[in-house]
Structure 1
Amino acid sequence: MDCWKEAMGRSWIYPTLIICINGFFSTMRPSEAFLTPYLTGPDKNLTIEEVTNQIFPVWTYSYLALLIPVFLITDYVRYKPVLLLQGISFIVTWLLLLFARGVLAMQAVEFFYGMTTATEVAYYAYIYSVVSTERYQRVTSYCRSVTLLAATLAALLGQLLVSLAGVSYFHLNAITLASVSLAFLCSFFLPTPHRTMFFHRKDGPEALPAPQKGLDSLRPEDRDSGSDGQGPAPQQQAEGAQAQSSVLRVLVQLSKDLRDCYSSRKLLYWSLWWALATAGFNQVVNYIQVLWDFRAPSHSSAVYNGAVEAIATFVGSATSMAVGYVKVNWDLSGELALGIFSAMDAGSLFLMHFTDNIWACYASYLAFKACYMLLITIATFQIAVNLSMERYALMFGFNNFVALAIQTILTLVVVDSKGLGLDISTQFLIYGSYFTLIAGIFLIRSIYTIISIRCRNTSVVGEGINQ
């Protein structure tokens, strides 16, 4: 039996299966689409102003504070402990949601939820460390498909239980707690990787693409080879020095890689859109339920949040898949697409602000999410196509960090009660103006690019004729 487990642990099928099961149950959260009605309802009895201006901003702040430390620690401790930490954070989040009351307790909920989102980096990073490079595309598609399926099913299940079975929001949260607890248990069955992207490069039998030179080449036993007979204290000092040296080398290499990545104008512009748009997208998703509850109060109207989220996830995944079948010269037309679809996002947000019809708000949200998912898929492909896996992960992580920093500024200025503390309708006017700015930047940039290319082609043709 032990031999069988060891053989399964070495294969790519076993860890892929376990991480997909983990991803399914951790994403299977039917109560999430009904968070605002739950908090403002009789279970927690909070006001919409408390939820918007005091509670929800804590998630953004905690996510920003934890993202960089978790990113580095995740690689150093070989992923599995961080996946276990994610499971614990999920469980604490939903235990507090179920049994705690008051603004301070719900702020604690948002802090622990920020920890779960910060630890999401371990989900994909783990699978890249236990499978060979030729299987990256396949296992990525499996992991991504499982989480999209779980998100769609969770939202749909939540809507059916609320609308048809009359299940309370409290019991929806109990179902979510059971699901994330199963995900936590699955994490224990994951084999611990022997190699990682940055800190543990030489431990495994197979190197990752474009490896750095010898981050772990100075082993303690090699460094102490001439110190036979010495006590454990010098050896511990050597190990401590090696760990510090390894961390320093990784940080220096990361800074060099970032500089090289952003030296490419093409990657710089795609990354700029990524950071700006992701900040706005996360802000909209974080507060959309508050807007829906403002347009159609949950205590007096039927709530269809789950159905809308299920359709939005499905439409978003369909548009993402469609990108693979569209033949477009993205080098020429990519920035134009960023400008046009960002303008459509801005229009959707303006409609959410100006309309009082909840169905128009739902439809606008569907259009907004579909446009963003389409563009983020294109940006992901354009950024990743010429990068090694290490730089791929590093650049995406840094782009998300910049996005989160921008989102934190938006939250602090627009939402937080210590800032402007704007009402939810005015907030969406600000978000629409924000996406208008993004659209303007990339439309102007795309026009400049197209004109420059045509002028170059014209000059080349003219030179050819003169010769």
Structure 2
Amino acid sequence: MNCCRTSPSHSWVFPTVNLCCFGFFSMMKPSEPFVIPYLAGPDKNISLSTITNEIFPIWTYSYLVLLLPVFILTDYVRYKPVIILQGISFIITWLLLVFGQGLRAMQVLEFFYGMVSATEVAYYAYIYSVVSPEHYQKVSGYCRSITLVAYTAASVLAQLLVSLANVSYFYLNVISLASVCVAFLFSLFLPMPKKSMFFHAKPSKETPPKPPGKDAFLEEPQTDHKPVYQEIFTLSRNQDDGPLSTPKPGNVTLRVFVQWFQDLKGCYSSKHLFYWSLWWAFSTAGFNQVLNYVQILWDYKAPSQSSTIYNGAVEALATFGGALAAFTAGCVKVNWDLLGELALAIFSAADAGSLFLMHYTTNIWVCYAGFLIFKSSYMLLITIAAFQIAVNLSVERYALVFGINTFIALVIQTVITVAVVDNQGLGLPVSIQFLIYGSYFSIIAGIFLMRSIYIICSAKCGKEHCRSTTGQNPSEREDSISNTNTVTTQF
């Protein structure tokens, strides 16, 4: 750690390598593609209906309850303690998977896995506190890519061990336990950040760097609004002015919360950001729900106790297909302002179609193919949505907006879980659930199809209005075109 401090040009290398190692081993869990066959098999002997209706919903509820407190705590304690907490939660989860027995043990397991999911924010936010802004894009790419590589490698390894070496699911969980223990060790050696984005902003006499272009919500004029990073750095500068101007910790916390509210209000006042965030939240809720229960559907279509299953190979292909779709999204040049919501409608319809296919088919291979289409379509769109939301936001606003979007997605997912899955609600079997999930994505596709038709028609009418002004004098034509652009950019 000392050597990386003494060399500013390489100060990002050590924490990045350490964090990537943590990310790799925390995702190198070959047991995950086969968790349902393991729970339903002789090791745990839990019925599919119990897993569906009584065990898996606990993850959704605990994730929702923990997300906001952990999000606030993550910045307040400066990331590293929360990453260590995630490592501990991983270990407890897999200890329970290996040694736990009975319904209660599995429900406690799901609570700790909800903790794992809630603390994931620290993994992606940590790097912004120890790396200079010019390395943000590069390091973020490394951290995200390594998790995809690890998950794909784990899925391939799991399939090879099960199909070729006839390794039991129990030993896949033992391997996963060893891997998350190694990840925990790497978390201990992460450098402790001296600053964070909100509560411990680094004092500076200079305004921090800002992405090129205007903030997304500044498309419409805002009055008496100070950006969050400016507010926090103003507080930091005030601390150098003497004891009379030093705000109390409670006041700083309150002002940070007030500034969060003001920034979120400003961000979501942009219609472009609002509708992309709306799709992001609803689709992510549906995607997480499908991901949670798809293995149960596969086991329902082809029982693992009497069939040869290829969950690991399918998960690896789906992850690779999602990564390829995400890469493709970055290379395609499209006028997203005009055609973005049409793309949301088309690919949401593809998601709906794949879910209907998975519901109606009796062939496990067709069911696998439907999942590949579903995950690739979602990964393509979520990459585009993430870029559209974040392109003109500062790092602070990026964290806030995506944190709130994730929370909204979890609220929606919890409503779906309570109504459809939980025994306190309808408690539907998994095959019927996928019919509902397909209908859910159909509604999303229909809403954004109507929005896209409206946007395209408005743009077309705006062009025709521009042509109708060709007989005016130049100054009148310029004013008319300016007014038309103002109207069309509101959508």
Q: TM-score, normalised by structure 1?
A: 0.94
Overall identity of the aligned pairs, in %: 62
Cα 1:33–1:215 change in 2 (3 A) is farther
Q: CA deviation at 1:4?
A: 2.7
Matched residue, 2:478 = none
SS in 1 for 2:334: coil
Alignment size in residue pairs: 452
- Separation in structure 2 between the aligned mates of residue 405 and residue 75 of structure 1, nearest angstrom: 22
**45-54 or 208-217: bigger deviation:** 208-217
Matched residue, 1:212 = 230
- Separation in structure 1 between the aligned mates of residue 388 and residue 326 of structure 2, nearest angstrom: 14
- Separation in structure 1 between the aligned mates of residue 455 and residue 136 of structure 2, nearest angstrom: 34
Are 1:248 and 2:238 counterparts? no
- Separation in structure 1 between the aligned mates of residue 115 and residue 239 of structure 2, nearest angstrom: 33
| CA contact 2:204–2:236 (8 Å) conserved in 1 | no
Matched residue, 1:420 = 426
SS in 2 for 1:201: coil
Cα 1:204–1:94 change in 2 (3 A) is farther
- The residue type equivalent to 2:169 in the other structure is Y
Matched residue, 2:439 = 433
Q: CA deviation at 1:327?
A: 1.1
Map residues 261-300 of structure 1 onto 2, 5 A cutoff: 261-300=267-306
Matched residue, 2:67 = 67
Matched residue, 1:54 = 54
Map residues 10-159 of structure 1 onto 2, 5 A cutoff: 11-159=11-159
- Separation in structure 2 between the aligned mates of residue 374 and residue 128 of structure 1, nearest angstrom: 25
| CA contact 2:277–2:389 (8 Å) conserved in 1 | yes
- Separation in structure 2 between the aligned mates of residue 174 and residue 295 of structure 1, nearest angstrom: 27
Cα 1:458–1:117 change in 2 (3 A) is same
- The residue type equivalent to 2:422 in the other structure is D
| CA contact 1:195–1:203 (8 Å) conserved in 2 | no
- The residue type equivalent to 1:83 in the other structure is I
Cα 1:79–1:302 change in 2 (3 A) is same
Matched residue, 2:6 = 7
- Separation in structure 1 between the aligned mates of residue 237 and residue 303 of structure 2, nearest angstrom: 62
- Separation in structure 1 between the aligned mates of residue 71 and residue 205 of structure 2, nearest angstrom: 24
Are 1:328 and 2:334 counterparts? yes
SS in 2 for 1:186: helix
Matched residue, 1:187 = 187
- Separation in structure 1 between the aligned mates of residue 392 and residue 4 of structure 2, nearest angstrom: 37
| CA contact 1:349–1:364 (8 Å) conserved in 2 | yes
Are 1:223 and 2:222 counterparts? no
| CA contact 2:203–2:237 (8 Å) conserved in 1 | no
Matched residue, 1:160 = 160
Cα 1:441–1:385 change in 2 (3 A) is same
- The residue type equivalent to 1:223 in the other structure is P
- Separation in structure 1 between the aligned mates of residue 207 and residue 196 of structure 2, nearest angstrom: 9
- The residue type equivalent to 2:230 in the other structure is Q
**243-252 or 353-362: bigger deviation:** 243-252
- Separation in structure 1 between the aligned mates of residue 6 and residue 408 of structure 2, nearest angstrom: 41
- Separation in structure 1 between the aligned mates of residue 135 and residue 206 of structure 2, nearest angstrom: 13
SS in 1 for 2:230: coil
Cα 1:89–1:463 change in 2 (3 A) is same
SS in 1 for 2:309: coil
- The residue type equivalent to 1:298 in the other structure is S
Q: CA deviation at 1:212?
A: 2.6
Matched residue, 2:482 = none
SS in 1 for 2:264: helix
| CA contact 1:202–1:217 (8 Å) conserved in 2 | no
| CA contact 1:262–1:268 (8 Å) conserved in 2 | yes
- Separation in structure 2 between the aligned mates of residue 333 and residue 221 of structure 1, nearest angstrom: 51
Of 459, 465, 473, which residue of structure 2 is paired with 1:459? 465
| CA contact 2:276–2:388 (8 Å) conserved in 1 | yes
Are 1:302 and 2:301 counterparts? no
- Separation in structure 1 between the aligned mates of residue 347 and residue 390 of structure 2, nearest angstrom: 21
- Separation in structure 2 between the aligned mates of residue 427 and residue 78 of structure 1, nearest angstrom: 40
- The residue type equivalent to 2:456 in the other structure is I
- Separation in structure 2 between the aligned mates of residue 11 and residue 66 of structure 1, nearest angstrom: 33
Cα 1:387–1:82 change in 2 (3 A) is same
- Separation in structure 2 between the aligned mates of residue 58 and residue 166 of structure 1, nearest angstrom: 32
- The residue type equivalent to 1:55 in the other structure is I
Cα 1:442–1:5 change in 2 (3 A) is closer
- Separation in structure 2 between the aligned mates of residue 206 and residue 41 of structure 1, nearest angstrom: 61
Q: CA deviation at 1:324?
A: 1.5
- The residue type equivalent to 1:121 in the other structure is V
Q: CA deviation at 1:124?
A: 1.1
Of 405, 415, 423, which residue of structure 2 is paired with 1:409? 415
SS in 2 for 1:116: helix
| CA contact 2:420–2:433 (8 Å) conserved in 1 | yes
- The residue type equivalent to 1:212 in the other structure is Q
Q: CA deviation at 1:209?
A: 3.9
- The residue type equivalent to 2:81 in the other structure is P
Q: TM-score, normalised by structure 2?
A: 0.89
Matched residue, 1:339 = 345
SS in 2 for 1:324: helix
Gaps of 5+ in 1: 226-237
Cα 1:205–1:42 change in 2 (3 A) is farther
Are 1:259 and 2:265 counterparts? yes
| CA contact 1:24–1:147 (8 Å) conserved in 2 | yes
- Separation in structure 1 between the aligned mates of residue 329 and residue 158 of structure 2, nearest angstrom: 30
| CA contact 2:205–2:237 (8 Å) conserved in 1 | no
Cα 1:127–1:206 change in 2 (3 A) is farther
| CA contact 2:28–2:176 (8 Å) conserved in 1 | yes
Are 1:379 and 2:385 counterparts? yes
- Separation in structure 2 between the aligned mates of residue 307 and residue 206 of structure 1, nearest angstrom: 51
- The residue type equivalent to 1:299 in the other structure is Q
SS in 1 for 2:332: coil
- Separation in structure 2 between the aligned mates of residue 346 and residue 13 of structure 1, nearest angstrom: 43
SS in 2 for 1:255: helix
SS in 1 for 2:408: helix
| CA contact 1:220–1:242 (8 Å) conserved in 2 | no
- Separation in structure 1 between the aligned mates of residue 165 and residue 130 of structure 2, nearest angstrom: 43
RMSD: 1.8
Q: CA deviation at 1:325?
A: 1.3
- Separation in structure 2 between the aligned mates of residue 81 and residue 116 of structure 1, nearest angstrom: 13
- The residue type equivalent to 2:51 in the other structure is V
